[in-house]
């Protein structure tokens, strides 16, 4: 495995922004990311937390997609 790959697979803090206001009770559904309402108008919710690797990130994004949430941004928080 190359060095770059190892880096990508280390847990990383991600911030995922979606359109609308998502209830905190969804936290467990999204691998216990914290859910926090960021902005009222337009409404934006931030899901934030440690994501173990790329496949976990992908599963989270898939779940968002499956619930028909509109994805605004995905950022790595250093």
Partner 1 sequence: MNSSLIATKLYIPRPPVDLVSRPRLLEKLDNALQQGCGLIVLSAPAGAGKTTLLSEWIDSPISDKNTQFSWISLDEGDNDSAHFMAYLLAAIQTVIPHFGESFPIGLQSLQPAQMEALMTLMINELSGLTNRLILVLDDYHLIHTQKVHSTLAFLLEHRPWNFHLVIAARADPSLPVALLRSRGMMTEIRLGDLRFTPAETASLMKLLLDRQLPDDDVLALTSRTEGWAAGLQMAAASMRESEDISAFIRDFSGSNRFILDYLVEQVLQQQPPFVQEFLFKTSILERLCPPLCETLVEIHLSPEDIHSLGLPDSLNAGSPSSQAVLEYLERSNLFIVPLDDHRCWYRYHHLFTDLLGQRLHQLHPQSIPELHCRAARWFAQNGFMAEAIDHALEGKDFETAANWVEEVVEKTMMRSEVVTFLDWVERLPEPFIKDRPLLCINHAWAMLLNGYPGEMIEARLEILDNADDLFTGKTLSLRGYLAIFRGQNSQAIAFAKQAMELLPKQDSFFRSLSAVVLGAALYSEGDEKAGAQAIEMAARVSMGMGNVMIQVIVLVYLAELYRKQGQLHKAYSLYQQALERATQEKGKKLPIAGRVLLGMGEILREWNNPRAEEVLLEGIELSGQWGSVSTLSGFFSLAHIFMAQNNWAKANDLAQKARQLAYYSNITEIDDLIVDIFQARLWIEQGNLSAAREWFMTEGLYRDIDIDEMEKKDDFIAYHMRKYEYPVAMRLWLAEGRFIEAQAFLEGLLIKLEKWERPLLVIENRILLALALYGQRKIEPAINQLEIALRLAEPEGFIRIFLNEGETLHALLKLTVDKLETTSLRVYGQRLLQAFSSGVIQSEKREISEKPSALIEPLSDREMDVLRLLASSLSTPEIATELVVSVHTVRSHIKNIYSKLDVHNRIGAVERGKELGLL
Q: Does 77 bind partner 1 (CB under 8 A)?
A: no
**β-bridge partners, 48:** 15, 34
Asked if 11 touches partner 1 (CB under 8 A), the answer is no
Contact 14, 51 (CB under 8 A): yes
**Region from 6-14, 47-55, 60-68 binding partner 1, contact rule CB under 8 A:** 60-68
CB neighbourhood size of 15 (10 A)? 17
C-beta separation of 78 from 20 below 8 A: no
Residue 68 binds partner 1 (CB under 8 A): yes
Among 16, 22, 46, 47, binds partner 1 (CB under 8 A): 22
Return the structure tokens found at 6: 């190892």
Interface residues with partner 1 (CB under 8 A) are: 20-23, 25-26, 28-29, 40-41, 43, 45, 63, 65-69
């Amino acid at each position: 495995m190359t060095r770059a790959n190892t880096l990508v697979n280390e847990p990383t803090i991600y911030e995922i922004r979606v359109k609308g206001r998502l209830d905190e009770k969804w936290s467990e559904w999204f691998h216990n990311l914290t859910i926090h309402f960021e902005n009222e108008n337009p409404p934006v919710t931030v899901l934030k937390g440690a994501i173990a690797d790329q496949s976990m990130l992908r599963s989270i994004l898939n779940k968002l997609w499956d619930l028909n949430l509109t994805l605004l941004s995905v950022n790595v928080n250093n």
